[in-house]
Amino acid sequence: MNSLSDRHLAHSRSIQADILQKVAIHKRCYLAQSLNVDPTTIGRWMDSSQAGSRLEQFATLLAICELRVVPIQMQCYDHHKIDILFQLAKDSFERFESVDAFLMMPEVEKGGCHE
């Protein structure tokens, strides 16, 4: 078996911690009923103190595949796309010399509406 990099090991531990926190919130009985297994099965799966536990294996698999576990309400975005949007916003704001210039509405050309 190949040994994992320190980065993968740290990522795997982080995934395990995230999963264990959510399992603690939802309770093993509820999870067991949802998966149609015995609550002790959930306990065995989550027992990371045993070498080769299902939790450890699954978390390691996710870490090697460079995936992560995030809450369902989280929004994930491509870093490159966010960087492009950031640069566009930065370029737009560099045109303004003060807050007043930013807040000022552009004047309408002749024939336009004025208030």
- pTM for the model stands at 0.62
82 domain residue, yes or no: no
114 domain residue, yes or no: no
Query: pLDDT at position 96, please?
Result: 79
At 108, list the tokens. 């309408």
33 domain residue, yes or no: yes
Query: pLDDT at position 1, please?
Result: 46
22 domain residue, yes or no: yes
Q: Specify the number of domains making up the chain.
A: 1
99 domain residue, yes or no: no
94 domain residue, yes or no: no
Enumerate residue ranges in the chain where pLDDT < 50.
Answer: 1, 115
The whole domain housing 43 covers 6-64
Distance between CA 43 and CA 18 in Å, rounded? 16
28 domain residue, yes or no: yes
50 domain residue, yes or no: yes
Measure Cα distances from 5 to 9, 12, 72, 99 in Å: 6, 11, 28, 49
